[in-house]
Structures are given as structure tokens and as C-alpha cells.
Structure 1
Amino acid sequence: MVTTLPGDHLAEVLRHVEIHGVISGGFTATAPWVSRGDVTDDVKIVAVLRGHAHLHTDGGASAHLVAGDVAVLSRRSRLALHGGSRHATARDIPPPVGWASGPLPDTAGPADTVVGGHIRLGPTGRELLYPGLPAVSHIHGTDPAAHRLRAVLGLLLEECSGREAGSGFAVAQYAQLLVLESLRASAGRTDLPPGWLRLLADERLRPAVRLMHDDPGRPWRLEQLARAAAMSRTGFAESFRRTSGSTPFAYLRRWRIILAEHALRHSDTSVDALAARLGFASPGSFSTAFRRTTGVTPSAYRRAAAVSPGSSR
């Protein structure tokens, strides 16, 4: 059973919307080289474990990545990575698909080691994460906020370069940490679009968010939430909307439905009990709100989750 520390709302959100990191493969090559292809994932991750790589995507976005850097791509359809000069005749490296056991192939001389992966999102995770991510988020390994990220990349490099038994399992665990540390580092950016990641990183609004997360069924009033943030009602409402992209009560209503979705997927809690726990006046009002958000009733949602290959109790 996975638990979260009190007040750890980023971990709580990641757990309830079931955001998963996947490392799909990697390569080691001596420059000049190029690797390009289509991006079919919701959110793409590229990490440079050693050496350098020039990243270019559709829309003109680009980044120069050095060892310890990570790029998080959102809503992109094409990706090109170059090692060395873009004008030199380069060896073409197909994007790696799947994770091969054993070490990445190495070459003589200074080499670049790159791993790629993605963040797997369900509909709720896509709804929450997409609006709050820039097209390309370049996380510098030298940033103070990325010190744990550098440690994760170091562990990945060890697994990629060694012949230890169980490396595939280890890489899968490090992929989750890579997602977490990438989101943590991204949350500190000042240019994040409005969204839940920016909201959860806002220290002034955090006490009000904590109240809503810790007791989602309570009929919160605006003045109570504003008081927790040491702000006026008007100032709090405007700051919350500007940071999250929604009003405080729209956020609370969506969070209640997220909790309900998770409970319906992973527990046998009755619809009546969920309605009472989450602050709805009646099972009927809960069912109406749930259907308005998800398009199906709570009972239909539970039945669909029970037969889905990705569901688990």
C-alpha cells in the first residue's frame, strides 16, 4: 500500500490521478549522430546522462541539453536530437523502442548517453497536467532544485551501463522518481502556465489547498479559505484563479470527483458512502455531479473500471 506524508499534496495528486513514468529506451553514441521521429506520447521526457544533445521539436522549440539535464515535452508531434554539429554528416540512430536488458552499447572515445521515456496519463491526469505545462520545459541539472534529479539520473546511468540482474525492474522504479523530480523542478519555474502544478507549488495558497485536500467533504466558505492564506476574500479568489486557472470552488468540486474516481476504481465503498464522505447532499446529487464531469454514472464508471485491463483493486 502506498501512503503519503501529511500535507504532501503533489504525491496525493499523482497517486489519485495515476500518473506513471516509463523509460522506453536509450542509446550511447559518439558524435556526430542524429535521432528523430514522431512523438505519440502525452508527455515526452528526454534525459542526458552524460555528454550533450541538441533537442528540436515542432513549433520551433529547442534546447541544448548537457549531462544531468532533462527536457519535458508537452503537446509535441515531432522530435529531433543531435549529437555534435548539426551540419556534419551524422549517423542516424532510430528512436529506441522498448527496454533491452543489459548495458547500452558504448563506443570508443567521448560518448553521449541519452534515455527517453514518457509520462503515461489517464483522462484525469491529462486534464490536470496538460494545461499547466509549457511546450518544452528544460530542467537544468545545475539548478539547486534539481539536486535529487541528478541523483536519479546517476542511478539510471549505473543501470544502463552495468550488467546487474533486475536492471529492468530498477529502471521502472527510477522512471517514477524521474517523473516526480521533473515535476518538482518544473514547479519552481516562474513561467509555468496556470494549472494544478503551479497551484501546488504556491506557498501562499498552499494552506488553503491543504484545507480542501484534508477535508474535501466540508462545506468550505470563501472567507475560511482566504483566512488560511492570510488574504482578503477578493485577493484570495483572484490569486487562486490566476494561479490554478479555476475558482477555489471549481477546484474543490473537481478534486471531490477525482477522489470519487479513485475510490470507485480501487475500493468497494458504496456510492451512498462516497456521497456522504465527499460532502454531497444526497447520492442523487453526487451521481449528477459525477456524470456531469465524467459522462457516466458512478456505478457505470465502477463497472467499466472492473473490466479494464489497467484496473486493479
Structure 2
Amino acid sequence: MNPLFLRARPGDPLSEVFDLVEVNGVVSGGAAASGPWTSPRMVMERPELKFMALVRGRVRLTADSLGAPIELEAGDVAVLNHRSWAQLESVAGEERTRRVLDDLDLDDDLLALMGSAADADDIVVGGHVDLNAAGHALVIPALPPVAHIRAAAPPALGVRRVLDRLFEELVAERAGSTFAIRQYGQLLVLELLRAYLHQSELPPGWLRVSVDEQLRPTLELMHAEPARRPSLDELARAASMSRTTFAERFRAVAGMPPVAYMSRWRMLHAQRALRDSDIGVGALASHLGYASESAFSTAFKREVGESPLRFRQRVRHRREDVVRSSHGDPTAAPGRSAHPG
């Protein structure tokens, strides 16, 4: 098999999808407090996906369009999807006795905030999820305005473990802590999605179809060789269904017909190859089973919105800007950061 298309463990569609898209969890700040307290209203400068994880204590979360506040317990995580503001407060204490934590900023420096947090009553870690276009299409539609992942639910055990290890890195301030925190940010996103997949009924889309046991054999066939175009009859047989039943079932779960899903799957491979390798567009078209470079380019532009060469130039320039910004290079594009809040 071509190395561009090396697969995750066979039979694990969710890992295969995450291999192809860019979904990066960034732990960017935290707060620790004791006694009755409340935060100011925190404006979300990057309003896509924010998460707030409660390492210890009990707090109440309010956000725009949320309705009733959500009470978070230790190990719980709230994922805010396109919210413009949020506010936290301790559960303990009367409203009039709560002091306002003017310095609470979940996008502030983690180690500075958390270094002395070991004895605090309430400890909150905040961050965001960076998504490319493919990751955006995968995750955003599957989540409600505020997703509450409860630590008490058995599928959330992995979330609790990652939070414990993350907090250990924060308070110990050992060599390599900054690197470890970045890795736990990635793991936290994966564990959050795993837990959410088991706690909630997902809308039709990429996430739902990737965990559908009845369609798993079909996905294995679709994912095995992106250049291959199995017929509807082959796909239906893999799922042990009639052609009509399979087509209806797949559309209901995936939110699109099988042919559209396979086309998008090929485009995910194409985007990764253009992003991470120097393969020529013509060779890539051949690897993905297109009759010509022009046919591939037309399909790519229809799906992604720009030509393969323009896509490659844009994502690589963006990466270069991020690298320069993370090293304090003043020539980096303004407003871009490796770890934006």
C-alpha cells in the first residue's frame, strides 16, 4: 500500500478519520480558587470550540443561549460550541458573599496560574480545539451549543484519568511539563469525543457513522483503498443488507449517500497528502483513482472550494506563520499564534 495511505488499526473508523483531519486540543489556561467566588463574564474571542474541565470542586456554568446554568462536578467537562460568552461561579456560598475573581482568565498562562493550586477548593482548566476545514465539518455539527460530559458516566473514565495526569503536570512543574500538557490536551479531546459518543444521540454525520456497529464492515470496505469504487451491491453485502435497506440506512446515519461519503473520504486523503507530502497533483490523482489530473482537480475544488495547488500553498504558509509566531518571529503574520486563546 502506498505510504500516503497507511491506515490506523483496521476496524477503527474513528481513528482513521482522526488520522486524516486536524483536530488539535490546546490547554491554554486555568483558575484555582477557594471559598465563594464568581468570575466576570468571559468573552470568547475564538468562539468555535472552547472547553472547561473541572479538576476539583463544584462550579456552575452559564453561557449565552444555554438557558438554565449547568452544574459541573469534579471530572466533568463542558464543551462550548460557538458561544460568545461564559461565566463560572462556585456552588458554595450565597450570591452576596461571592467575591469576583477579576483575574480569572482561562486563556492565561497555565503554569503561572496553576503552580500553587494544590490546596484550592475549585480548580478549572480551560482551552480550545483548533480545527481545519475537514475537522470543522466532522466535529461542529455533532455537538450542541454546550455539551456536558459527566465524569460519573462509565464512558467518561478516560476523561477523568487525563485530567488527573494533566493536573499532576501542572502542579509538579517538572522538566518537560509544557510538552506534556500539549499532549494531554490532544488526549483530552479524544476522550471527550469518546465519552460524548456514548452519552448522547448523535445527529447524522461523520462521527455517528464512524461508531455505527452495523455499518462498520461497510466502512472497512470503503476505507481500505481510497482509489477503489465498490458498487452499492458490494457495500450492501458487506453490511448484510439489501441494496435498498443499506442505502436508506447509510443516508440516515451518515447524512449523505454512500457515493458522496466515498468522494469525501478520498478528498480527506487528498488534503492530508497535499498538506504533509510533496507528491505531485497528477500522481495524487492517479493514487486516488481519478482518470486524469484535471478530473481530480475539478472534484477537489468542488469539495474543498479551491484548487489542490492553492490548498497546498495556503496550508503550508499558515504552518510557517504558526512556527514563526511560536518562536517569537516578528515577521509572522499578525494575530496568529501557535496557542491562541
Distance change >3 Å, CA 167–CA 33, structure 1 → 2: same
State the match for 1:68 in structure 2.
75
Please tell me whether residue 261 in structure 1 is matched to residue 266 in structure 2: no
Q: In terms of mean alpha carbon deviation, does 13-22 or 177-186 score higher?
A: 13-22
2:183 aligned to which of 173, 181, 200? 173
Instruction: Tell me if structure 2 keeps the 8 A contact 1:42–1:126.
Output: no
Instruction: Tell me if structure 1 keeps the 8 A contact 2:66–2:146.
Output: no
1:206 aligned to which of 216, 227, 243? 216
Residue identity in the other structure for 1:149: V
Residue identity in the other structure for 1:155: R
Residue identity in the other structure for 2:100: D
Please tell me whether residue 78 in structure 1 is matched to residue 78 in structure 2: no
Give the root-mean-square deviation of aligned CA atoms. Answer: 2.2
State the match for 2:338 in structure 1.
none
Please tell me whether residue 6 in structure 1 is matched to residue 13 in structure 2: no
The alpha-carbon deviation at position 226 of structure 1 amounts to 1.5
Give CA deviations for 1:68-113 in whole Å, capped at 9, x if unaligned.
Answer: 11111212111111112572432223323233435444386x6011
> How far apart are the structure 1 equivalents of 2:223 and 2:172?
43
Instruction: Tell me if structure 1 keeps the 8 A contact 2:11–2:216.
Output: no
> How far apart are the structure 1 equivalents of 2:234 and 2:53?
43
State the match for 1:285 in structure 2.
295
The alpha-carbon deviation at position 306 of structure 1 amounts to 3.2
State the match for 1:134 in structure 2.
144
The alpha-carbon deviation at position 143 of structure 1 amounts to 1.4
The alpha-carbon deviation at position 57 of structure 1 amounts to 1.3
Q: In terms of mean alpha carbon deviation, does 18-27 or 121-130 score higher?
A: 121-130
Residue identity in the other structure for 1:226: A
Instruction: Tell me if structure 2 keeps the 8 A contact 1:34–1:83.
Output: yes
The alpha-carbon deviation at position 58 of structure 1 amounts to 1.1
2:117 aligned to which of 102, 106, 110? 106
The alpha-carbon deviation at position 176 of structure 1 amounts to 0.4
State the match for 1:92 in structure 2.
100
State the match for 1:309 in structure 2.
319
Q: In terms of mean alpha carbon deviation, does 288-297 or 35-44 score higher?
A: 35-44
State the match for 1:160 in structure 2.
170
Instruction: Tell me if structure 2 keeps the 8 A contact 1:19–1:119.
Output: yes
Instruction: Tell me if structure 2 keeps the 8 A contact 1:237–1:247.
Output: yes
Instruction: Tell me if structure 2 keeps the 8 A contact 1:207–1:229.
Output: yes
Q: In terms of mean alpha carbon deviation, does 75-84 or 178-187 score higher?
A: 75-84
The alpha-carbon deviation at position 54 of structure 1 amounts to 1.0
Distance change >3 Å, CA 232–CA 189, structure 1 → 2: farther
The alpha-carbon deviation at position 3 of structure 1 amounts to 7.3
> How far apart are the structure 2 equivalents of 1:303 and 1:106?
44
State the match for 2:304 in structure 1.
294
Residue identity in the other structure for 1:71: A
The alpha-carbon deviation at position 6 of structure 1 amounts to 2.6
Instruction: Tell me if structure 2 keeps the 8 A contact 1:216–1:256.
Output: yes
Instruction: Tell me if structure 1 keeps the 8 A contact 2:206–2:254.
Output: yes
State the match for 2:326 in structure 1.
none
> How far apart are the structure 2 equivalents of 1:274 and 1:131?
29
> How far apart are the structure 1 equivalents of 2:242 and 2:96?
60
Instruction: Tell me if structure 2 keeps the 8 A contact 1:74–1:136.
Output: yes
State the match for 1:55 in structure 2.
61
> How far apart are the structure 1 equivalents of 2:252 and 2:270?
26
Aligned length, in residue pairs: 311
Please tell me whether residue 24 in structure 1 is matched to residue 28 in structure 2: yes
Give CA deviations for 1:41-79 in whole Å, capped at 9, x if unaligned.
Answer: 421111111111111111124421111111112121111
2:129 aligned to which of 112, 115, 119? 119
Residue identity in the other structure for 1:79: A
Instruction: Tell me if structure 2 keeps the 8 A contact 1:275–1:281.
Output: yes
Instruction: Tell me if structure 2 keeps the 8 A contact 1:141–1:150.
Output: yes
Instruction: Tell me if structure 1 keeps the 8 A contact 2:107–2:127.
Output: no
Distance change >3 Å, CA 38–CA 275, structure 1 → 2: same
Q: In terms of mean alpha carbon deviation, does 245-254 or 79-88 score higher?
A: 79-88
State the match for 1:33 in structure 2.
37
Q: What is the DSSP-based 3-state SS (H/G/I as helix, E as strand, rest coil) of the residue aligned with 1:64?
A: strand
The alpha-carbon deviation at position 304 of structure 1 amounts to 2.7
Distance change >3 Å, CA 254–CA 118, structure 1 → 2: same
Residue identity in the other structure for 2:117: D
Q: In terms of mean alpha carbon deviation, does 275-284 or 257-266 score higher?
A: 275-284
Distance change >3 Å, CA 59–CA 285, structure 1 → 2: same
